Structure 1
């Protein structure tokens, strides 16, 4: 019987083998460590929140301590603006990284009914992160009125449905309308949707992750109805400060602009003497938002991911609460376009410079900013500019105004000192924010400002994508595709004739 000879390695061979094992092991460990060092993203989306916060000083009584604390240790963009002043087009622009005038997605859409060939050229942020090795978790309102697409999310929160009970006697409600309610709820905080959404985010942050994660937490308030637990109403006095309002504010606004003002809401609240209750409920809902955002931020701070997680907090658009005779969003004025935007990057290599940044920026920039911060290559079509230079140096500039679109042909350009608006019919507005922060005096017809108008007009789109007509769920804007929607002149004159007189609230 033949015996197989056994080879006994010499000491030198043993050392080479050991060195090889150590080298291979170190390579694997290095790769694993590198994967774990890719930053996580906590993406906090808030619905319909304007600048009535402590960190933007939009209202003197606003109580938002948790978001204010985040702003102090982050870059707080105090001159940020939405791509469109409505939930659906704003979110489509931000999440797909494409301006409405390039996508054709101008009004509200049910994305499930938009033809696949329309959306095929675009990659949503969660899809991009997931395809680049991230686990993606979502809860609440991220997209608008759409089922969550299977290619986007590793997991998506399914909340339990609980019909909230309103204490209308402690606030205001329009008849039996559950949407138009402005009052406390009587339910435990745990059954409210935003509490559940925040709890899901807390659960995700409490898990062990072997991959980087993109966690999207979508808070719905202060979207209508303005309802939340009583304790947040209790933070405010019965009478809250009203915004400064000019009686004849719309007298120098073109008819296309006046058509955007929600005069019916303003007239009703004045008739019912309800504006104070509406505004108090809005402030209470913002404090409720702050409470839930604080819960998530506390969970992050207590987790092992605190030092490697980028936090982005944003709202999809602003909100009118009587300014310009208007309620809600749906305009190209400051109250509707200006949004909270906070970016926090705790990593030393980010070289973040915490504090306020007053450079004009658009939410369209978030796509390129997040891909820049995480080292992901964005698709070629993506609009916008990375804000990383501003995160490192708040005095830097991206040398262009923030563009807001509301219907094809209607655009606003907002820079450091000016807002310029051009409507589909060629009519214009120009406001000097250095001396007129409320946008009370339209300078568009003053020949002294021709050069300023020409400069800002040069940033507006020269080519507009045609309107995507399939899948529209709401179309409520006067624009190039629907120029006869409503009758602004008739509505304006009728309401001015039949409504209670408007009292000016400015000196």
Structure 2
């Protein structure tokens, strides 16, 4: 029993682009996630979890390394030299491997799914990492959305949705599930197991086998709200980000029609496709839930579930028309709030004096994953100046503090957002030209009113501004440079569909 308590197995699940449209978070009334909801009922549910950055690569790096963007500098797409900048580093999987775990992985755990890339960026971490290849292609098929195609940039995944009737085993997520499920049965039990699986959906394109849309057919799917950030007098930098990420030319998918030009949001509204896009995003989430259910069933059938910690997290959220934005790359709640579950076996819970599974409403960061696993498993934490992960166990139970530290997220140098209690304070730039946002979710869950100039909130704004100043004292210089709102995407010639 002692070995079980100190060296439990770990199932580590990463999901791409999934916001709070789940059953237990209630982000959308039509969401269907029965398998994840079942796990949530057995888990500590961090209902106000925030990602470190609204971009896949830097979010995943900060989570895997146990760092925060204000310390690591992993804050934008310009992170080509991160391996040398942060060397020597140790990741979650690398620490597990160093502690004697047999480590297996498949799918989108890192930014790349290619084993040669993962093994280069995470050396000495994986005993096995499986190649899941690419997703089935829609090339040559009739357009499944009314508008598709990107003539100026044919390489990235299209902004598209619809049913794609391909054999189940051809899908990247299904291949990852097959590899990991097999290992749950076949890996010898003389060592603890760390099994990592990353799901590609609900990343764009929102194309899945047609049967996964069946629960969402018919009826009026709720969408929105349709808030114009410019009319709402939000900071210029935030408005510019949305504009620059939406300024595309759209072409009709039906032959013989003239081109339709406009922002992504304008064209989706004109064509009556807002609800249809939401329908297929929901279907893609339902697909991911089904994939997770297969792994969860394999874990139980292999007889490992009573000794396995399960962690489920998402790299960032995703807008579907909120703030007239379609994508991520913002410092608003829709981009930053993510599902985050930690399921701890009963024996370990009782040995650690933890309560039964429950919801934790205190805002937390997914960068706490590393320290929380280290705390549960007795691992040493990395002796690295950039490591700043904090265990979440003190937030659970009777002795939890009544107030926790604000949670930091960032996007592009000089732009920061703090989530504390029921507030969000965001700062764009520095000096006299800096801009600020302050939202009170207790009265304004959709961020319709920036209260930064509201005298009633002066104390909250001053407190969070001072806290941010303190946090940034030792931040690397490159993370503090004001970008002046130069493109929310953080990279030249890139769309927000391709990450």
- Scaled by the length of structure 1, what TM-score is found? 0.82
**Equivalent residue number for residue 174 of structure 1:** 148
Q: Tell me, in whole angstroms, the C-alpha distance in 2 between the residues paired with 1:404 and 1:115.
A: 18
Please say if residues 241 and 488 of structure 2, whose CA atoms lie closer than 8 Å, have aligned partners that are also in contact. Answer: no
Structure 1 counterpart of 2:392: 387
Q: 1:137 aligned to 96, 101, 104, which one?
A: 104
Query: 1:232-311, aligned counterparts within 5 Å?
Result: 232-250=212-230, 251-261=232-242, 262-263=245-246, 264-311=263-310
Where does residue 373 of structure 2 map in the other structure?
Answer: 370
Judge which range, 243-252 or 348-357, deviates more: 243-252
Q: Secondary structure at the match of 1:313?
A: strand
Distance 1:408 1:209, change over 3 A: same
Residues in 2 aligned to 1:164 and 1:392: alpha-carbon distance in whole angstroms: 48
Show structure 2 runs of 5+ residues with no match: 247-262, 490-499
Which residue number corresponds to residue 54 of structure 1?
23
- For structure 1, the 5+ residue unaligned runs are 1-29, 469-478, 489-507
TM-score of the superposed pair, with normalisation by structure 2: 0.84
Aligned equivalents of 2:23 and 2:379: distance in 1? 34
Are residue 465 (structure 1) and residue 432 (structure 2) matched? no
SS of the residue corresponding to residue 287 of structure 1 reads helix
Q: Rg larger in 1 or in 2?
A: 1
* Cα root mean square deviation, aligned: 2.4
Deviations 1:319-352 (A, max 9, x none): 1001111111101111000000011001423234
* Structure 1 position 485, deviation (Å): 2.1
For each residue in 1:432-465, what CA deviation from the matched residue of structure 2 results, as whole angstroms up to 9, or x when unmatched?
1111111111100112211101111233232321
Match of 1:209 in 2: 189
Are the aligned partners of 2:329 and 2:488 in contact in 1 as well (CA < 8 Å)? no
**In the alignment, does 2:448 pair up with 1:440?**
yes
Q: Which shifted more, 221-230 or 351-360?
A: 351-360
State the match for 2:315 in structure 1: 316
Instruction: Give the direction of change, closer, same or farther, for the CA distance of 1:115–1:171 in structure 2 (3 Å limit).
Output: closer
Q: Aligned in 2, Cα 1:484/1:67: closer, same or farther, shift over 3 Å?
A: closer
The 8 Å contact of residues 415 and 482 in structure 2, kept in 1 or not, is answered as no
Q: SS at 1:148's partner residue? A: helix
How many residue pairs get aligned? The number is 445
**CA spacing shift, 1:393–1:258, aligned 2, 3 Å:** farther
CA contact (8 A) 1:168 1:183 kept: no
Aligned match for 1:410, one of 389, 412, 415: 415
| Cα gap change, 1:239 to 1:265, in 2 (>3 Å) | farther
